[in-house]
Every structure is written in structure tokens, then in C-alpha cells.
Amino acid sequence: MRIPVKKGVQAFLLACCVLGVNVLYVFLQQEIKQHSSAAEFFQQDGGKQSQEDVPKLGRSLFERSRRSMLNESYNLKENVTDQGEGVNGKNKAFLSHKADSKSSKTVSQVFQDPSKKSSAFHHTNNNNNNNKILKNNAQFTNGYNHNNAVYKNEVKLSEVFVSVKTTGKFHASRIPILLETWVVMGRDAVHFFTDVEDEELKSKILPGRLINTNCSARHTRAALCCKMSLEFDMFLASKRKWFCHVDDDTYLNIPALLRLLKQYNSTGDWYLGKPSLNHPLEIKDIEYPKQKTAFWFATGAGFCVSRGLALKMMPYAGGGRLRSVCEKVRLPDDCSIGFIIYYYMKKELTVVPGFHSHLEGLWLIKPRDLENHITFSYGQSGHATNVVRVGGFSQGSDPTRFRSIHCHLYPNLPQCANIEKDFR
């Protein structure tokens, strides 16, 4: 029996509609999974992932921490409510000061607000306006203020994971000054991430604190993201409360760092640092290429991420996934961290002016205020040097000024007894 042409066409169109609905349903399921929280991610797939997506060391770290992360994620989901997560009644009073806190600001409060998608993340490049805003917020220079803290709770050094990114060619030129100065004060927290085996350097630090990532030694996007990916995974496996990253040309003021972190609840969503640009970084939107995405990120001068936020980042940065994001957005490690936090987590960088990189004028830092700053760096362009101008050791014996900074912060150390104490 022949089927009429009209009915045949109707049957064909009906089949196409059913197929289209099924495809749309599968697509929506994938989208929901992609934007789920860390706890939902583990609940749905048990933390499993393709073995090909995970670097060798990252895979073992990810599997070792998976079960504990599952329980921790559920606990956070029950107790966390946005920025003031997990705070009991007696601590809620501190959260009431969040809008008035003088310790730091979200980047949209300090600079122009790029968060309105309806205006395609329109932002201004008016340097005078940005400088005026920063000038009006000069009271934030210290990086913290105990009288207006968001959250006060003692932070122990053992609760902080400090990662120092380095490479084999800088082991002899950059690492010794760090070991001689601030690393002594932060020994229990510091981990070095490099790309070669170095038995001599390994003998000078705590066991297990020099990690050969087996990443490339080249200064490329892929190599940088490879190291950062391992840093992030090792932090998650450590179960510490804060992840703080610096480069190997950075002096980290440990007491100032702990004073900063005590203001914030580690179960909250905190991304602390300072941008090196006076405008947000703008890239093509990964989902809508005809649109722009603008976001702020902290540089190698240092940044800290709370454990609460890091757990939520796991579906996008954990187990080696950070490397995939880096390739997708074609940005280096610190930019990609900022992108994940803004684009997927919908959180902003909280600006802490106490972080300093070689990209700014370090000579503007007043020696008498050194104890209030968190990181320092150094740089050189031709014959011009960019360093903190502080009295102490001679320029020849202390070109980075790290030894002099260290003696200013710890004047009673034996090596600081006979130096010039000109700290005006």
C-alpha cells in the first residue's frame, strides 16, 4: 500500500522535530553540567575524568584528594552563602563591615566597573580618572586595617600554601637570595615549582618542597600553565586554607601576609591581589566570539585564593584542566586564573595594593612603610634599575635590595648588625 506524499512529509517532519528535541536536551544537559558547582560535579561523575586530560603528577594528586574533596565540598555547600560563607553568629558582626572595609576593595570599586554585560563590558581608559580613584583610596595602601576587618580569625603559617614558580636557569641567580631572606620565615608554607632536578637546591629546603613539574623550561604560555596547574592541584591535596602564588623574583613579607589573610574567611570566595593594568583585560568571549569579555587579574607580584573558591574552581582548573582553559583563551597562567574566577565563578578580584611587581615604580614605596606591604620585586631595563630604595647593604652586594628590606623588617638578625640603617 502506497503512503500518500503529504502524510510521508508530515511523518518526516515529525521525526525531525523529535530528533531536534533530543539534541537540544543533550546540549542542555552538557551546559548544566559545565556550570555546576564543585560539589555537584563530584556528585554527578564521582570526580572521574579522562586519564588523557590529566598530567602524570596532577593525576595522582587529583585522585589522592578526590574523596576528601567530595566531603569538603558538601560541607561548604551546606554552610556557605556567598562572600560571608560559614560564619557563625558571633562573627556576623564583622561581615556587616564588608561594604566599609578599608583593607581592600573589589576591583570594580577601585577602578571602572566592567561587570555590565549589556554594555559589552564597556570600560574607560582615562588614566587620570583611574589615578584619581586610586588617590582617593590611598588609605588602602597598607593592604589591611584591623579596625574594619571583614573577618577576624588567626591564620597559622601551616594553613597557607605558598607556591614559588621558578625555572632551572634561575636556581643559582634568584633562589639563593630568597632562601637567605623571607623563605627562612615562611619555611613551613613554601613550595618551589621548577622544571629540572636539582639535588643541591633540594638539600637546602624541606623535604618534598622542591617539585619538578616536568614542564617545559621555556617561558611560554603552555609551560607557565603547566606549572600553575600542578601548583593548584598540590594546594588542593594539601588541605590548607589559602593558596598564595608568587614568582621567583619576589620578596614575600610573611607577617603582613598573615595579617591580610586573617581578615577573610577561607571558606568564602576570595581572590586577593593587584592588577598591573589600569583597565581590565579584554578578550573574545569563548561562547560568543562576536562579543567581548573583560576581566581583571592579579599578576606575578602575588595573589591568594581561598579554599572555598578553589574548591568551586575544580571543574575548570583541577586535575590539569587549567591547561585546557589556557589554550582555549590563549592566555598565560595568571591571566587564566583570573579568567576562570570571573567568567565561571562570577567573582571579582579584590584589590590589595600591598602587592608590588616590577611593572610598577618600586622606588615610590617609602622605607618606613615596608612592614605594611606584602610583596616586593625588582627589575632592570638597560642601566636603569627598578628597586625599593632602602638603606642597608651596598648596591653591589644587594642589587635586588631584598637583604636590606629583610634587615629593615627583622633588624635584630645577626647579619643585620653592622649595616647602614637609613630607613627614611
Q: Which residues are catalytic?
A: 334
Integer Cα distance of 24 and 27 in angstroms? 5
The H or E element that residue 19 is part of is helix 5-34
Q: Residue 293: helix, strand or coil by DSSP?
A: strand
DSSP state of 218: S
User: Cα(first)–Cα(last) distance of the chain, in Å?
Assistant: 102
- Residue listed under C-alpha cell 639563593: 176
Place of cell 554594555: 119
- The rounded distance, in Å, linking the Cα atoms of 293 and 298 is 17
120: cell is 559589552
Alpha carbon distance 173, 184 (integer Å): 18
Strand partners of residue 284: 292
Q: Which three cell numbers stand for residue 351?
A: 584589590
Beta bridge partners of 210: 192
Kindly list the distances between the CA atom of residue 45 and the CA atoms of 41, 42, 49, 199, in Å, as whole numbers in the listed order. Answer: 6, 6, 8, 40
The three three-digit cell numbers of residue 38, written as one number: 564543585
Per the CB < 8 A criterion, the answer to whether 414 and 391 are in contact is no
The radius of gyration of the chain from alpha carbons, rounded to an integer in Å, stands at 24
**Contact criterion met (CB below 8 Å) for 267 and 76:** yes
For 237, what's the count of Cα atoms within 13 Å in the CB-facing half-sphere? Answer: 16
Cβ count within 10 A of residue 162: 27
Angle of the 321-329 helix axis to the 221-238 helix axis, nearest 10: 150
Identify the helix (H) or strand (E) that includes residue 61: helix 56-79
Residue 408 CB-half CA count within 13 A: 26
